[in-house]
Amino acid sequence: MSTAIQKDNIHLLWRTGFGPDLSQIPQLQQIPGKALYQVLYNLSEKKPEDFNVIDKDLISFASGMAPVDIRNKKVMSAEEKKMLRVRNQDSIKQLNLTWLNTIVTTNAQLREKVAFFWHGHFACRSINAIHQQSLLNIIRRNALGNFRDLLHEVSKSGAMLNFLNNNQNRKGHPNENFAREVMELFTLGRGNYTETDVKESARAFTGWGANPTGEFVFRNRLHDDGKKTVLGKTGNFDGDDILDILLDQKQTARFIVQKIYRFFVNEQLDNDKISTLADSFYSGGYNIASLLQQIFTASWFYDPVNIGTRIKSPVELIAGMQRILHMQMENDNALLALQRILGQVLLYPPNVAGWPGGKNWIDSTTLMMRMRLPALLSDADILNVKPKDDDDQMMGRKEDENASFRLRAKKGKGLKTFNARIDWDGYNKTFSDLPKEKIIDAMADILLQSGGVVPQDLIRQHTDVSSRDNFIKSATMRMMSLPEYQMC
């Protein structure tokens, strides 16, 4: 068995997806990394079907097809308004859980992982379920396509236009928020434009808006059609022109490559590699798939300095455990609460800059939850934790500030239950041919990416030796509780 090949392949699976699926383990000892990447790309090449989970009555209301007596919120009763809010909240929950389930189960891991990256890059907090679904569909469709197309489509989405206040951007009274964030966070990065560039760009984006269903609307009467000067270019620019001017700047390619490198390779940037990748990305017309292939097939991608150096985000941690154990969660509310406790609710970034990542994932609350999560899922522990007090991330259902979320594996009166079904039979078979004394090392090769010596004595102190299967189960839960398991 070539542990070097397996180690490299598990590294690749964590960076191009959400960790290895249990069924993939036997093949990881043989297939070369470049061949594995090609398989992963082929599985993700086809554009996905759009998510379509929004309540039909919400869509009818937004499109003006609802009964006349409930189209106008001004004449709706309090009960009717409450009904719409509840259906919107339930739709947002369903969208969150649908994407999380897709992340865990799909073979198109590369597409969903890259979409997960773009969802943080184009961070947007929208409480409108229709707009939120539309933006997510745009990101997933274009995840492996062309950054130019992705930027233009995201910039015209109802979710982003409303989130960044561009519906209030009009001739004579420009709102600079949208233009500023497009430059600072989506393309050039801070310090690579002037305040004049922002002001002039804001004028170009006047008249850009969206209708209730999230479709782009250009309101010509609100548009400033005068000449603008942006980044040294002068003309009667509109919003599309500004986006193209930003894309013409090599700094945009460098800024995007830096963020991609930091997310997929290493938080410590290598300027020489960044320059090479940025040049290729720019000259290749912002082809995302080509950039990723250049990264994931490079020999330096597998350097020890790049393996096991990233702290898993909460979604990566949750999804990774589900994939390797073929774990199915039965309680949706508990799964949503877990995202909140760990600090990352899908579709709800903390602000327009997205999640800072890295060591920011860890604080006293989240570290405790991360370390105790395996025991919680295996019904060995009970945990009372209060999620961070953020009504947006509570899906609009802010609870009593003194209430705690109490999660455990089995149902109990008054408890938020977290029923986890794990395919232990399939998992245990992974180690069926190994003598017992070699199981922990083999397990570490699969579960731990950070290298170093596995603390076998510590693990054995907390294992159930009553049977081989129980030994594997308990050793796995203990290993997943190690600090090293937090890294990928």
Name the pTM for this structure.
0.93
pLDDT mean for each 10 residues of the chain (488 residues): 84 98 92 95 97 92 60 69 91 97 98 98 96 98 98 98 96 97 98 98 98 95 98 98 98 98 98 98 98 98 96 97 91 85 96 96 90 77 58 43 40 55 94 93 92 82 92 95 94
pLDDT recorded at residue 365: 84
The domain boundary, picked from 207, 222, 248, lies at: 248
| Residues 334 and 379 both lie in one domain | yes
Residue 51, in any domain of the structure: no
Supply the range of the domain harboring residue 260: 250-306
50 found inside a domain: no
Looking at the domain assignment, is residue 46 inside a domain? no
Domain match, 300 and 263 both: yes
Give a yes or no: residue 231 inside a domain: yes
Is 311 domain-assigned? no
CA distances to 91, 202, 250, 340, 410 from 255, rounded to whole Å, are 34, 21, 9, 30, 47
Residue 254 shares a structural domain with residue 228: no
Among 260, 288, 306, the domain boundary falls at: 306
Q: 205 and 64 share a domain? A: yes
Query: Is residue 225 assigned to a domain?
Result: yes
In a domain, 438, yes or no: yes
Query: Is residue 187 packed enough to be buried (19+ CB in 10 Å), middle (13-18) or exposed (0-12)?
Result: buried
> In terms of domains, do 219 and 182 share one?
yes
Boundary-marking domain end, from 379, 398, 421 = 421
Residues 270 and 341 in one domain: no
Task: Verify that 278 and 384 share a domain, yes or no.
Answer: no
Separation of alpha carbons 393 and 347, rounded Å: 9
Token digits of residue 142: 């274009």
Two tokens, residue 7: 């180690």
* Residue among 239, 248, 116, 257 at smallest CA distance from 178: 239
Note whether 85 and 152 are same-domain residues: yes
Number of structural domains in the chain: 5
Helix or strand holding residue 329 (H, E): strand 328-329
> Do 147 and 264 belong to one domain?
no
Q: Within this chain, do residues 255 and 359 fall inside the same structural domain, yes or no?
A: no
At 72 the pLDDT is 53
SS (H, E, C) 364-428: HHHHHHHHHHHHHHCCCCCEEECCCCCCCCCCCCCCCCCCCEEEECCCCCCCEECCEECCHHHHH
Residue 43 is assigned to a structural domain of this protein: no
Are both 31 and 131 inside the same structural domain? no
> Do 133 and 168 fall into the same domain?
yes
